Structure 1
Amino acid sequence: MRTPPVEPSRFASLWSDLAVIGRDRLRGGYSRHGFDDADLHLREWFTAQAQRRGLDVETDRNGNVWAWWGTPGAGAVVTGSHLDSVPGGGAFDGPLGVVSALLAVDELRVRGVRPTRPLAVACFTEEEGGRFGLACLGSRLMTGAVDADQVRRLHDGAGQTLAEAARRAGVDPAHMGPDPERVAMIGSFIELHVEQGRLLKSASPAGAPAAIGVGSEIVAHGRWRLSLTGEGNHAGTTVADDRHDPMIPAAATVLAARRAITARPGAVATVGRIQPVPGGTNVIASRVDVWLDARYLDGAATGELVDEIVAAVREEAALEGCALTVHRESMSDRVDFDPGLAMQLAEQLGAPIVPTGAGHDAGVLAAHVPSAMLFVRNPTGISHAPGEHAETADCITGVEALADALEVQLR
């Protein structure tokens, strides 16, 4: 007999605990980044919640936090997500998957489930890359997808290295790197996440979007830093013919990105960050760094998209007498989630299968273990912004769907 639905008060209680952590009074929303004060507070919160449920908590060599139901071992069923955010991000991206995982453990116990395999709730470090610039940091380190020496040298906007920040959080940076034994323990990974964009609406053109969807793939995506070097000078005394202003080709980057994606249905390219040096209002910058995020079908198509944008910027830089260097900070090819697991979940939950352009830890793990994603309906599609939202009723439906999916995996 089906158990009663999850009480809204149980969801609200956990959710209200998170609401006060990492508020960004300047930008709105939340700013929670790897190994900062908000992140340390979140780790303490998660540890307390897990221990309250009788789960055994450990932090691995890369700063990822694991809460185990049963003895860690081969064939483990793992769920969870991340607790960090983009600067000024929404409340749901990441934390919804962690809260839902804890409540799914509660739900499984209410149902009387006795796992025959170990179950873990995982919180991955710095998924958004909001502090050190590298997304899915914890899962990439764990799987060996990124060089640990490179990661230790990363630094934030204040100049603090990741190694220094990790050490402050009690993680020894010398031990960071591939963790094949841990990866080998994972039998399957299911990540629940708030919908980003209107995936479910697109999958239901004739009616109301479903409350839950199942992920099929993540399109290729990457980040590039374009550094434009010109000549610093006085804003009030330097005439047009004497200027070598790197802000001009920087502005061209924004326009070139928009034009390139307009010609390619389904492609996206965004300039979300521009940093002039020295950054004075009455100063022509000597250098401008521009960060470009690009996502398209696969690695080759994304590369062609970026090449077109860079070519336009290089032409504008030459006209302005500026130099351009391009540094690729990250690149992930298209990821297909385990088709058998996706189909199983879609049939079990009666949910549509949808693709996504957003990166996730599940996408990193998919190359190593059977991985899947569940998406909870977002009525506006807004994400990475304070307007991100999901209705409580839909979140509870997500908890129950996650519990259903885990129950099957634990048999």
Structure 2
Amino acid sequence: MASTKDWFETVAEAQRRAKKRLPKSVYYALVAGAEQGLTLSDNVAAFDELGFRPHIADLPAVRSQSTTVMGQEIDFPVVISPTGVQAVDPEGEVAVAKAAASSNIQNPLNPDQTVSTAMGLSSFASRSIEDVCAVNDKVFFQVYWAGSRDDILARAMRAKAAGAKALIVTLDWTFATRRDWGSPPIPEKMDLKAMLQFGPEAIVKPKYLLDWVKTGKLPDLTTPNMAAPGQDPPTFFGAYGVWWTSPLPTWEDLAWLREQWGGPFMIKGITHPDDARRAVDAGATAVSVSNHGGNNLDGTPGSIRALPAIADAVGDQIEVLQDGGIRRGADVAKALALGARACMIGRAYLWGMAAQGERGVTNVISILYKGIDEALLGLGKNSIHELSRDDLIIPENFTRNTSKI
């Protein structure tokens, strides 16, 4: 099936359509990375170094992709990664949550059901936890270590009351003004000054502008999930300032939050085996092997390179997820073969939403689901749980000695 006006066949095509539709500043905010962009590039390039060892006969007629992540049953091993304020579509995170909850992809093992998965929601999101939980019952709420212990716990408890099933603590994002390679200026809020500055970009992207005009509102740069009771939500940079000026968390802090939360708990940003072991000691349910999509310490190897060492260190004690560089279903299969339970996607679904709203997110989910199925077929596997390193051709020093760091 070739790409059409209403359908794209690859995530790369979604990215091209996103670039065509979005104002320049909005698009470049989606593709930026830290400093030189070395980690950003390696997140994607590392997957290309891994090859498959396929079979050609006695292949399974039907393949299973179902698994569980932090207590939630999902129909395929990809979870929506939490990303901050989304100005790429008026529906923002609600559109993403709807697509994740019901992708319109028929489940081959149960034709009466469609494929669904879990949604990670950022505390810096533009839509509230209540709005998102209303359309998806498998939401994982994400927090930064921003503010006091009481502030952080209040946000977490609000999310739990709204229906969030798990908590994600993101630690793979450090502040430095010289970072954000390729990132454009972003306004504090959409006031008259900002409209005069960024208006010319929007005028030359009429479809994007028309979608917002139809809603009668401007892109929302506030963060409702960071608001204290009875207060107006801060702007993105207001929330960012709270995080930037907060004392850095300790392992004791993380263990405290895990105990207070009392449910499934992920620590996101693990690339060092020692940190993975400390996460186990802190009581975490899961870790995400991640470098914040190349927006943390530049020069860190692509996250897929760090995955085997983390899986070897703690994979029998904790759920290990991989986040970064996923562009096709084959990438997911490679990560699972190296020890991940599931993968998390960020830019891929944002490009899909930028290209075509909720339908574009569904399109990306379909691309990944079918790509995983094709990999299982080619490798002769009945299930994603049968994937192993024996299915891969792994070049020497692929991991860049990450097991020794």
TM-score by length of 1: 0.29
Larger radius of gyration: 1
Larger RCO (CA under 8 A, 6+ residues apart): 2
